[in-house]
Structure 1
Amino acid sequence: MEENSLGGSKYLLLIVDEASGCMKGFCLRAKSESEDCIKTYIMKVQKQFGKKVKFVRHDGAREFATNSLKAFYEDEGIEQQTTVPYAHQTNGTAERAIRTIVTIGRSMLHHAKLDKCFWAEAAMTAIYVKNRLPSPKIEHKTPFEIVYKSKPSVKHMRVFGCRTYILTPKEKRLKWDPKARAGIFLGYEEVW
């Protein structure tokens, strides 16, 4: 990204499940962090859902082609597919997903009148929302629904960048102190 996030991240790693369209994002300070994120994510998904990841498709970037990652894929029985350099169409699913998340995130930042340093929060919120939107590619179900076998609740959803109030616990305030302080809504806690 052009600017570091508030947390110091410079890169967005986006993993897309081709069957459901479900996305998982990781904000990284260095590209070298990709390897641990990928390994952890694959192991967690396989354990949580009891299914094996069959293949991983990526561009030929150095951080996706380490010997350690190749060995991990081999140990896990995962086929590694590397796309043709500079031919983004050969990795269409991921490239389209990245474009969608950046477009949604940019729109959210603009609408909220927030600085670019909030790009990570905007991207993660865009991923969260997109996973809960119906898609014609999967019979108008949501990616969340395909993965978790239940419709997602959207009752808790709010507009990115809207005003929020953070309650100050009773134990931490005096009689005449305000009960809450103003804040800005920057996204959701993703539990997976």
Structure 2
Amino acid sequence: MFEVEMKGRSFSLNLMHEEQSTFLAKESTIMLWHKRLGNYHHQGIVKMKSKSMAIDLPEFDARIMTCKACQFGKQNRKSFPKTAWRATCKLQLIHTDISGTQRTLSLVGNRYYASFIDDFTRMCWIFFLKFKSEIAGAFWKFKIMVENQSGNHIQILRYDNGKEYTSENFNAFYEEVGIEHQLTATYSPQQNGVCERRNKYILEMTRCMLHGKNLPKKFYAEAAHTAIFLQNRLATKAVKDQTPYEAWYGRKPSLHFLKIFGYLCFTHVPQIKRDKLDKKPLPRVFIGYSNVAKAYKIFLPHNGKIIISRDVHFIEDEEWN
């Protein structure tokens, strides 16, 4: 440090000047121990001293020093504020996302799934895709279905910056139908937290159902579809004193027909497809609920096909599993 005289409203340091004054710089005690303790935070060091949690600690300065090493090693992103705005009617805001690539293909060869969540009711729909480029067709089917059911029109679609959502065809579609699209900031999936949390919920329930009955991973699509079917009929904090199903349809869901995913069952074989001495029912595996009929989705182990049937007898005894 130097003593410099003011000249012309400025301080000009002349290093060639003969008379210079130097001062010894002494490092702060708190900064010294901060470094000795592996860049341990200031409040923690002060607490250890005040509570006598260690011996041979000196008295520390009250002021907090800025450490460059901590800026490089500890800096975190700013927290994402919880949005207070919620949709006030059906389809005012739709959250959507495509799940990551599944290493194992589903029974029909799908590798991805797209979820659509209505912000007002938190009703969720799921579509399975072989390629991410199929999202435009899935969204068109979803749009027609929900607008016919609710009588409202989709106003805002919120999604991440995935190329499948930002293509020229998709942008032209938004403009044509008058949908406002909201994108999250790059590397900020938290801004689409509704979908991120739902994807976590779907995968957790899917894993539980698959491993609960030791089913192979190729049944993940059926398990995920069943997870959405159930979640729409379960309570959620986002909708007060209602299930998403009731908030969307206006009536309470019935749960009497629910069965455990992966349970053994027997389905009736029509007489025309069997001999007089053949077994009337055959053992099958329950893998979900039909969206188009009041019936169950049944897997046929002998040929790997899926059928929709209402004539099902369930064996819910553990000795059969």
TM-score range for the pair, normalised by the shorter chain length: over 0.9
Rounded Cα–Cα distance in structure 1 between residues aligned with 2:129 and 2:112: 5
Aligned partner of residue 16 in structure 1, secondary structure: strand
Match of 2:278 in 1: 177
Distance 2:222 2:281 in 1: 23
Cα distance in 1 for partners of 2:177, 2:250 equals 25
Aligned to 1:84, which of 142, 167, 185? 185
CA drift of 1:136 comes to 2.7
Work out whether residues 128 and 190 of structure 1, in 8 Å CA contact, stay in contact via their aligned partners in 2.
no
Consecutive unaligned residues in structure 2, runs of 5 or more: 1-101, 294-321
* Structure-2-length-normalised TM-score: 0.58
* One of 84, 106, 111 as aligned partner of 1:10: 111
Aligned to 1:130: 231
Aligned mates of 1:189, 1:103 — CA distance in 2: 22
Structure 1 runs not aligned, ≥5 long: none
Shift of 1:71: 1.6
Shift of residue 97, structure 1, vs aligned partner: 0.6
Structure 1 match to 2:207:
106
Please tell me whether residue 20 in structure 1 is matched to residue 112 in structure 2: no
> How many matched pairs?
192
CA distance in 1, matches of 2:270, 2:158: 47
Tell me which stretches of 4 or more aligned residues in structure 1 moved more than 3 Å: none
In 2: Cα distance, 1:62 partner to 1:167 partner: 47
The offset of 1:85, in angstroms, is 1.9
Out of 183, 188, 194, the residue aligned to residue 93 of structure 1 is 194
Partner of 2:141: 40
Amino acid paired to 1:150: R
Higher gyration radius (CA): 2
CA deviation string 1:131-160 (max 9, x = no partner): 111223211311111111111111111100
Match for 1:57: what amino acid?
R
Q: Give the match for residue 121 of structure 1.
A: 222
Percent identity between matched residues is: 35
Does residue 247 of structure 2 align to residue 146 of structure 1?
A: yes
**What TM-score does the superposition give when structure 1 sets the normalisation length?**
0.96
Q: Which amino acid aligns with 1:59?
A: D
Higher relative contact order (CA 8 A, sep 6+): 1
- Cα separation, 2, equivalents of 1:140 and 1:160: 27
SS of aligned partner of 1:150: coil
Q: For the aligned residues, what is the CA RMSD?
A: 1.3
